[in-house]
Structure 1
Amino acid sequence: MGGVKINTDTEVLDEDEQAVSGLYAAGELTGGLHGNNRIGGNAVADIIIFGRQAGTQATKFAQENN
């Protein structure tokens, strides 16, 4: 029930809470949103919302760094 920390743009954060350029995460790979335990059905909203956000941000990053 843990995982990598992300910010509101779904960028993975390093140990110093700084975004790792070009690295995005969503769904059950991420942790911290629900604390140390997650009720099974709560993951569905995370996957949909943060998955879409991660895809959008990754596309934007790829276009800007092409």
Structure 2
Amino acid sequence: QKCTIRIYTVRGNLVKTIEHESRMKDGAESWNLVSKDGMDIAYGLYIYHIDAPDIGEKIGKFAVIK
């Protein structure tokens, strides 16, 4: 199953888009904490939005502590 993971700042700016296929890594996905612009992200709170066609959407938040 494929899904799209979008990561945003708390202000709503898109940081990163990750295209994921669940058959890889038992459903886990890793990210090197580099933005779509090639910059290291700052510590703080981020919002994730997962969109899985035919399954649904999930929105949540996570913190980055360096």
User: TM-score with structure 1 length normalisation?
Assistant: 0.32
Question: Relative to total residues, which structure has the larger helix share, 1 or 2?
Answer: 1
